[in-house]
Amino acid sequence: MKVLVIGNGGREHAICWKLVQSRQVDQVFCCRGNAGISEVAECVDIDMNDFGSLINFVKYEWIDMTIVGPEAPLSRGIVDAFEKEGRRIMGPVRAAARLESSKVFSKDFMRKFNIPTAGYKVFSSYNQAEDYVRMKGSPIVIKADGLAAGKGVIVAGTVDDAISGIRHIMKDRAFGDAGNRVVIEDCLFGEEVSYMVFTDGDTILPMVSSQDHKRIYDNDRGPNTGGMGAYSPAPVVTPEIEKQIMNTVMLPVINGMKKEGIKYKGILYAGLMIRDGNPYVLEFNCRLGDPETQPVLMRMDSDLMNIAFGITDGRLSETELKWKDEAAVCIVIASNGYPGKYDKGRIITGMEDLKKEKDVIVFHAGTSFNEEDKVITSGGRVLGVTALGKDLKEAKEKAYKSVNRIHFEGMHFRKDIADKALNR
């Protein structure tokens, strides 16, 4: 069978890496891929938002399954376009992807179906938003309604910061139309986790828990990034909390969608705050997390292709998920300057030797080749060095030992990934 993966980051490298292990898979294509992905898949140079060209490619190559990595094509309706042409594709339709692409939709949906989340109000007027923040005080959270590449959320410690956040979104229009409305929400405290499930719209199969590290510097300091590292499992998610997440979050979403006339298929990712043993939803994503996918898929013992077919064909109930007992830790190595303007074109060394390491995979995110075919940096997040170990401590040690063998000019990584779990 042939499969096409859409995307070019560490998450997509992990998906491709997992797919080539499936006995059912003969060939993996990736649009557009990166240097690491090109070692396991054939990279295809098509714009991921050009659905017409993608569908032509899928027809021409007789591709059996397409798996979508990032949110942008999902929010633009790639699944609707493929399904109209009778093509199998794993992901939610556009109307369902609004859970991620519109914070207003997502909050209103949670309110309607009684899903635990922070109290909030929606504003389309700058002046009213400012008045509300002055009335409420700080800390307070400001969110642009639409997609903003992870930069549309400001957790404001002071009223001034909150107001400058609203100005940035609504007046400076930093995210364009995505900032026509803002959600202003109460600040939640607790421990954050990522919880992802596969669903065909009826059956829900949970993945193992994981935890991301959003800030650029150690001890959660500095600006937010796409994620600087992740580990799995997240010990804060006890079996009891897992039950609660399923009963108070995942099931109500899938059932609520049904009531709205929408079958939610694909991945549902809840970013949660756990406080006093209760989960509260910070956000939903309609895709796998990056970098959470890297440790989670390293722990998966099931065939990802079976799961994909279970989802697209509504047969997920016949599929079983198996996980390794081992833990996994992923350390992201970023370019100098990230998450701001960053360097590109730096030659990366030290990765070749790591291919011999058992239990360590260097997933590529922002990499490409130079004219001499050397692997160079081409993005903000460059690599996700991921290791399996008998527990988080061992996985962390293996991951950092490997990170220390890699080099490129200006490389930056956090030194405290998984410490939160280890110091509990």
Q: By the criterion CB under 6 A, which residues form the site for ligand GLY? A: 212, 227, 285, 289-290, 292
SS3 123: strand
Binding mask 189-228 for ligand AMP (x = CB under 6 A): ---x---------------------x--------------
Token pair recorded at residue 106: 């997502």
321 scored as a contact of ligand AMP (CB under 6 A): no
182 scored as a contact of ligand AMP (CB under 6 A): no
Partner from ligand AMP, ligand GLY, none binding residue 12, C-beta < 5-8 Å depending on class:
none
Partner from ligand GLY, ligand AMP, none binding residue 153, C-beta < 5-8 Å depending on class:
ligand AMP
Is the distance from CB of 312 to CB of 32 less than 8 angstroms?
no
Q: Which is nearer to ligand AMP, 156 or 334 (CB)?
A: 156
Buried b (16+ CB within 10 A) or exposed e, 362-390: bbbbbbbeeeeeebbbbbbbbbbbbbbbe
118 scored as a contact of ligand AMP (CB under 6 A): yes
Q: Which is nearer to ligand GLY, 195 or 408 (CB)?
A: 195
Sign of CA dihedral 235, 240, 241, 243: positive
Residues 358-377 that bind ligand AMP (CB under 6 A): none
Token pair recorded at residue 142: 């400001």
Residues 280-319 that bind ligand AMP (CB under 6 A): 282-283
Nearest position to ligand AMP, beta carbon = 283
Is the distance from CB of 183 to CB of 117 less than 8 angstroms?
no
Partner from ligand GLY, ligand AMP, none binding residue 156, C-beta < 5-8 Å depending on class:
none
Q: Which is nearer to ligand GLY, 22 or 380 (CB)?
A: 380
**What's the rounded Cα separation, in Å, for the pair 301 and 298?**
8
SS3 13: helix
Helix (H) or strand (E) holding 57: helix 51-60
Pairing of strands 27-32, 2-7: parallel
144 scored as a contact of ligand AMP (CB under 6 A): no
Composition of the chain by helix, strand, coil, percent to 5: 35, 30, 40
Contact region for ligand AMP (CB under 6 A) — 3-11, 91-99, 164-172, 180-188? 180-188
Which amino acid does the sequence have at 395?
A: A
100 scored as a contact of ligand AMP (CB under 6 A): no
11 scored as a contact of ligand AMP (CB under 6 A): no
Q: Which residues bind ligand AMP (CB under 6 A)?
A: 118, 141, 143, 153, 155, 185, 187-188, 192, 214, 271, 282-283
